[in-house]
Every structure is written in structure tokens, then in C-alpha cells.
Amino acid sequence: MELFKGRKVESGMSVDIYRNLHHGGYSIRCSRTKVVLARCDSVRIKDCEFRVSETGRQKVLATRRKSVHAYIKGIFIAADESPEQHSDMSRVIYYNPYETEHFMDVTTGTTVKRLEEVFCHGKVVFAKLEGGNENSITQEQLALL
């Protein structure tokens, strides 16, 4: 995790997580002050709320240029963990402003607004499956995200 300007990210902090469009990975922003605290390759948060600014989304659609308008708000747990540590998280969540208005479950196609815990790595948000449902997503489908 790369901290900015001596700022700290501690377990239990309320943060916003979004994909860093210029450097890859994820930016971690303080939910209260909206100041970017750090950048990392992967991040895990709990008590997650998925948010999309409709105004920001409309601007992306009109200009065809990426901008930060969607993020996940939650409580920081850890950063830069390996995907192997989270093999129990096989539910895949995605957001694409050109295809969806909200974050969506890849397998079911349903809107996702809240989840207990997520692990963000690469371009994908992973979560635990609910109710023991099978997740039939393939590696080819993941590559499309």
C-alpha cells in the first residue's frame, strides 16, 4: 500500500474505494473528508454500500471519457492481500456505466446495493456467495470485465 503525504489508513476507518483510472489498482479515500489516503493493488472492506453518481454516469455517457463516479463505501479491513487468501469469495460484482446503472452481480444480473464484505483485486470485486448458491462464472467471463 502506498500512503499519500504521511496519511494513515487504519483498520476500522470508514473509507470509499474506487478503481484508480491512471495507475491501476484502487484508491482509498476517507469517507468523511473525501481526501485520498492511499493507493493499493487490492483492498478488503466490510459493511459495504455500492454507490453510483447518476450525474457522473451521465457525464461519462455524454463525453465517452472515464471519471470517478462510482465507489464502494465501507469499513477498511486490509490492503494488498493476495487473491489466494480469499478463495471463499467467488461471487463477482461489476460496474460498467455503458451497460448498467448500478453495480451488478455477474451471475444473476441483479443490482447489488449492500454486502457484508468484499475483496477488490484487479478489475473485479469479489464477495461471498449468499445461501450457498453455485457461481457459474468462467475465466473467459472474468476476462471480459
pLDDT of residue 140: 47
| DSSP 8-state assignment for residue 122 | T
User: Where in the sequence is the domain holding 51, given as residue range(s)?
Assistant: 2-144
> What confidence tier does 131 reach under pLDDT thresholds 50, 70, 90?
low
Give the C-alpha separation, 75 to 73, whole Å: 7
What is the pTM for the complete model shown? Answer: 0.87
Give the C-alpha separation, 14 to 20, whole Å: 18
Residue 77 in contact with residue 46, Cβ under 8 Å?
A: yes
The residue-averaged pLDDT of 1-29 equals 93
Looking at per-residue pLDDT, the higher value among 84 and 37 belongs to 37
For 6, the 3-state DSSP assignment is coil
pLDDT of residue 9: 96
The residue-averaged pLDDT of 16-42 equals 95
The total number of structural domains that make up the chain: 1
